[in-house]
Amino acid sequence: MKNRNKYLFLIFILFFASSVFAGEDVKTLFDRYQALYSRYREAISVQADSETVSSILVELQAASKAYYKSIGKLAYYADPDSPVPSVIDIQSPDATGQKSSLQRQYDGIVAEMSLPTRDINYDKIEAMIEDFITNCTDEKLKKDAYLKLAEVIYQKTKNLSQTQTVLLNYARSVQNPEYRRQAMATIRVYKKLSVVEQKRKEYQEVVDATVNKFGKFAKTSWLAFPVKLVNFGSYGINNIKRIAKARELDKALEEYNAAVLDTYEPGSTEALTRSKLVPLNKIKLMANGRSSFARRFELGQSAQSSLYLQTLLFNDDETGNALTDIMCERAQAGVDVRLILDDAFSFGNKDGCIQRMKNAGVKVLINNPILKNVLKANFRSHQKLFIVDDSFAVVGGMNIGDEYAKGEIEEYGWRDTDIEVQGPLVRSILDLFEQNWEDLTLKKWNEVGDYAKKKEAHQKINSFKKLKNVDKLIRGAIPVYFDEAPEFEDVNARFITTFPIDEKDDNVLDMFEIYMNMAEKEVIFESAYFIPTDRLVKAIAEAVARGVEVKVITNSIESNNHPSGGWAGRYAYERVLNVGARIFEWRGAQTLHSKVSLFDDFAVTLGAYNVNSRSHTSDSEDIVALEDYRLAKVFKVMLEKDLSRCNEITLADFASWDKAFMKKAKMEFFNMFKFLF
């Protein structure tokens, strides 16, 4: 009996130990894997002795296997001289900006496939890809080309069998097991895509029938009450069918998205951030609203086929009305004009510009209607997109309003950053808008189409309220940052999104960590609201320990349009300063709303993502990551201008706040509600 108890006790101990090990955080395993990989690369670069390299390699392979096992994947070793897959592989040009001729040729195929005219050029593109495959000696590029060929075949023929044949033939011939796995995973993607397209067709047929049924109901006079009642019942039955088909399509889309994720190399930057590095983009840096809104208006007026806008807020002010005029005129000219707004900032404010656009034929969808789901009122769509004719996109931090548009023009004009994108990356940005549009359409409870009644729109011009403590700041408009917006071609870029509520991800933070682990000299985070997560503080500490100088630029209490959020952010200053980072507070007479990050001279990011609690846990976000040394240099110039209008905050400053009763009380109180900021 005693022996039995001993065995049971031993089994319990072993079970407990295994449970602790199994519960080891995936992120911890990834951090160890990546740290060892960095050590391995460093050992190779400094030509360390073979014993040291072998020792690190043994640890690295064990860490790699542990990490991949934790995410349910196998580690694939494609090359004996490269025993572990790189998770931080940057494919941008080197310091001379040169690429191989094969890479250039493949980039040209990618660019051709991103053009709005690709649908009529598939035969030409197919011939280009087949010629490239015949002459390609780079196995990775050949794999990528086969995947592109399958895409062209499917888009041209919609024939699943032909598409599958291309991928199966490649899978049978390739020696690399990871490339073979990706080809087979891509076959599953097209199977799921064919289901999506069928469900999408079925859904649209029901939607059209529902709209027609509602039209008959709306047109029937109340004097013919029995007929009107029958028509209403018919509409109701079709609407129930529509909801059922919407759910079927939504499920098919979820399965398709899951299949796409499985095509990424496990542990790669692509897998961790759900993004791909896209070549041959033309990027224009538009620091502040003076340049950004002039370009937005110009692009909007030139729209010929489509004009899509997604924003958090759309103000009834001079800027909002000017853009409304453009969108209304284009809609009436037959252009497909669409707008996605978040209800948190448009609730109770839909009878002005928004109603004017609806009356003119602009299609408007409201994200997360508060009255339909009060429990989700704190969750918002914070993404900001402006896309014209499938060819131009503006992304960054700016909403639609005078405070954004007047940067460098009026004293109250906010400091913010946008970029204009032309090239293949526009396709990725457009995909997000279309995904969001479809998602909102599927979740609507009523579909009345053209039979929705027009309402009278109120013409009103609201004025922006300036900061309360402007006299404590540097008065005057922001100086002009660039006389002409800097513009660069042939830029490698990623478009990264995050949906913390629906997908439980933080792809942007993952990207930050990957870039920080690569940095050797300097990292700068510029964020309107700075409330870092524990993960980010840890990454900052590790970067500083390696000798990297980390700087943070954010609002002062006086310049912050949400001072309570500023106090919550200051609560986190101490631990950030303690690990060796430097913090700078903006002192301009306007709010700093820019969201930019710089990593040495190899990468820069910008978009809607703040380094705060909301972006991490509550709001859907987007950023563009630019992997280009030229852009890094020009963004560094911009950030240096911002630093010149900041005060550095030290541990002594924090200690003085901590001793002041009211300041300490504000920091501690608002920190309890940091999830709101």
Task: Give the model confidence (pLDDT) of 502-550 as tens digits.
Answer: 777 789 999 999 999 999 999 999 999 999 999 999 999 999 999 999 9
Better-predicted residue by pLDDT, 301 or 265: 301
Contacts of 89 by beta carbon, 8 Å cutoff, 6+ apart: 268, 269
**How confident is the model over 74-97, as a mean pLDDT?**
38
Contact assessment for residue 549 and residue 580, using Cβ atoms and an 8 Å cutoff? no
Better-predicted residue by pLDDT, 375 or 83: 375
> 101-114 vs 139-157: helix axis angle to the nearest 10?
20
The DSSP secondary structure of 11-68, one letter per residue, reads HHHHHHHHHHHHTS-HHHHHHHHHHHHHHHHHHHHTT--HHHHHHHHHHHHHHHHHHH
**How confident is the model over 210-223, as a mean pLDDT?**
87
pLDDT at 79 over 50: no
pLDDT in the model for residue 368? 80
pLDDT at 447 over 50: no
d(C-alpha 528, C-alpha 610), whole Å: 7
Tell me whether strands 549-555 and 522-526 are parallel, antiparallel or unpaired: parallel
pLDDT in the model for residue 113? 87
pLDDT in the model for residue 502? 72
pLDDT in the model for residue 23? 40
pLDDT at 367 over 80: yes
pLDDT in the model for residue 16? 39
Average pLDDT value for the chain: 85
Could you report how far apart the first and last alpha carbons of the chain are, in Å?
A: 60
Tens-place pLDDT, residues 589-633: 999 999 999 999 999 999 999 988 888 777 888 999 999 999 999
pLDDT at 315 over 60: yes
**How confident is the model over 267-295, as a mean pLDDT?**
93
Domains of the chain: 283-472 (3.30.870.10), 492-676 (3.30.870.10)
Contacts of 605 by beta carbon, 8 Å cutoff, 6+ apart: 508, 511, 512, 515, 596, 597, 623, 624, 625, 626
pLDDT in the model for residue 50? 62
Q: What percent of the chain has pLDDT over 90?
A: 59
Contact assessment for residue 593 and residue 382, using Cβ atoms and an 8 Å cutoff? no
**How confident is the model over 476-491, as a mean pLDDT?**
94
What does the block give as tokens for 237? Answer: 């039955």
pLDDT in the model for residue 121? 84
pLDDT in the model for residue 616? 76
Contacts of 622 by beta carbon, 8 Å cutoff, 6+ apart: 383, 384, 385, 395, 432, 495, 496, 497, 498, 607, 608, 609
pLDDT in the model for residue 96? 39
Tell me the H-state helices in 414-522: 425-442, 507-518
Residue of 87, 193, 99 whose CA lies nearest to 150: 193
Question: What is the distance, to the nearest Å, from the Cα of residue 384 to the centroid of all Cα atoms in its chain?
Answer: 10
pLDDT in the model for residue 45? 53
Tens-place pLDDT, residues 161-199: 999 999 999 999 999 999 999 999 999 999 999 999 999
Phi, psi of 265 (to 5 degrees): -65, 125
CA distances from 540 to 562, 567, 581 (A): 25, 21, 7
d(C-alpha 639, C-alpha 250), whole Å: 42
Tens-place pLDDT, residues 390-438: 999 999 999 999 999 999 999 999 999 999 999 999 999 999 999 999 9
Tens-place pLDDT, residues 22-59: 344 656 776 676 677 667 656 655 666 667 766 777 77
pTM: 0.83
d(C-alpha 178, C-alpha 74), whole Å: 9
